A and B are shown apart, each in its own frame.
Chain A
């Protein structure tokens, strides 16, 4: 009996500790969140920009790539003097893979860290859940990886730098026809539990029909699937001249590998999910030759992409993936919009609520020369991107070095 009493009191002490931790973070007048150990984060008047991406759960890879890009942007712009001498400071909060986690991260960033704007969340489904929170609090949100239909329409404060698929996809089908004009039969694969892949495959299938080709089969899979024997042989039996895959890097890469191992020899097109160098670690030498429609190319020629690419290469020893570039671009949009705003009226004197509203207006009005190329926004907040690319994956024989070779 005594033992239980000890345990129970231990329990209550633990609760008291947790509770005090909860209030403690909130008691200070200044935001106490200094999440990111950046060289300038120490300065008290740095301008906080929230990064709400998934660092845990099974979508962590996408989030980690995004954070890598955002951190490079933070350092890059602070080294260039920040906003008229005032540095920016990223406040990173993990959203996990779920809707509730995204809302909690947003709430913390908005009320505790007092950020001027947020980059995130990772998944479109999370955006549908968390973006309305920011909309109601009148805090600008820039999606860096949300591509589903209807995201910018959530509200005035919601915009994105990640291009929706409709524009990107057709290019790669045309590129495939250029390589082999005799393509007739097309097999389509897509990950049906991924919002992005589902809308992308719609665009691919329309394009295929517009080009007068036959879709001989549509095979569905899940992003969590690993074995594609059945779907692959079903498709191969129909002897397609072209296979189009919409999925994420891991499942898509596995599918490519298994299609090749099972003897498929013709052209493969990968969707936007293939657009990361981690595809090479999945299918290695068997990725060779896959065509990918891209919203970002490491080979894009402008000053800022050159710096971004070099920094990324130095730090991570591989080509920057699209999600990193998009997160970089999102931070850049905030920085340049803040700079433009600062020229009009000194931002350090603006009250936070007004600063957020003004910033939102300013960022939608501007034009930005980012690693993605030149971008701007439609009035509703969707990205207008000039440059799209089709690349071909080139991998050497032992499968260790892969790169995106720019077509056209």
Chain B
């Protein structure tokens, strides 16, 4: 077990982070808005933590205090939130693919800026970010509470007036507006919540990866999260959580299968070098066979029905 944890500790924490980023994409999707801005806020949060921990809060020796990490996370959350409102108000007048493209443009602009500014370290980025823990697995102390909090919040959210307003906008924005729901307000709210979550996760991630650079949180990353949310399921928050975990783990699981002893050499070779081919095939098959996503609200309903029968 100890060996398992030390090999897969990093992966397990990555999976939880994948789930959190899935949720940050899911939040605007609750109002029917496809935003791919999460990676941009994720990158921003990471830079905030990286700059603060290497240049402002200098801790000479030993482990970096967890309190400071939490402080960085809050600052990253606040900054991302403010930027989220500023970008959200104009951008959320757009819908569908137009909104998606506008957010892609926003992420690209951030990326080019981080590549060129001095404070972000250009192409090399920022390295030597201090560690609050001795092993990667201990990051669970931060990310698990964060995930639980987000999930509880979303669970509540899906059941109160606010969540119903989100759903109403998703189903029919015009009708919702006619019923006295202000669509712009709720859309910007959902977008900003997603931005805050992505920024906070970015701040943890900077410590977790030891380094931060302009290659973090790019368009490619948003594609992975979009895939995980859509295949996970977009009708309940459990979908993105599960999807985020599965899609973060999948390449590593394929690596582990390739290393299994006793496989024919050609198969092991294919599993290793052709890992991403399989990954792509699974994405295609996933969308075709699970167009509603893996986790649908029906799934829970059926469970309940069965329970009440027995």
Contact = CB atoms under 8 A, between A and B. Distances in A.
Whether A and B touch directly in their complex, counting CB atoms under 8 A apart, is answered as yes
Interface of A: 1, 4-5, 7-8, 11, 18, 21-26, 28, 32-35, 37, 55-56, 93-94, 96, 98-101, 103-104, 107-108, 110-112, 124-125, 128-130, 132-133, 136, 148-150, 154, 192-195, 197-199
Given A4-B298, A150-B127, A193-B123, A112 B259 contact: yes
- Main SS class of interface, A: helix
B260 A35 contact: no
A351 to B, nearest CB: 16
A193 B115 contact: yes
A51 B56 CA distance: 37
B29 to A, nearest CB: 22
Contacts, number: 128
Contacts of A125: 123-125, 211, 213, 215
The 7 closest A-B pairs by CB, nearest first: A128-B211, A128-B127, A32-B261, A195-B124, A111-B7, A21-B257, A132-B210
B7 A107 contact: yes
B8 to A, nearest CB: 7
Contacts of B116: 192
B276 interface: yes
B209 interface: yes
Interface of B: 3-4, 6-11, 14, 115-116, 122-125, 127-128, 131, 134-136, 209-211, 213-216, 249, 251-253, 255-257, 259-261, 265, 272-273, 275-276, 289-290, 294, 298-299, 302
Nearest to A137: B6
Nearest to A28: B261
Contacts of A130: 210
A311 B298 CA distance: 62
A347 to B, nearest CB: 22
Given A33-B259, A35-B272, A128-B125, A103 B4 contact: no
Contacts of A197: 123
Contact of A7 (B115, B256, B260, B289): B289
A94 B299 CA distance: 37
A103 B14 CA distance: 11
Contacts of A111: 3, 6-7
B290 A7 contact: yes
A195 B294 contact: no
B115 A21 contact: no
Given A111-B3, A154-B128, A22 B8 contact: yes
A129 B124 CA distance: 11
B253 A104 contact: no
B9 A107 contact: yes
A34 B261 contact: yes
A25 B253 contact: no
16 contacts: A4-B299, A22-B256, A23-B4, A25-B259, A25-B260, A94-B255, A94-B272, A99-B216, A107-B11, A125-B213, A128-B124, A128-B211, A130-B210, A194-B123, A195-B124, A197-B123
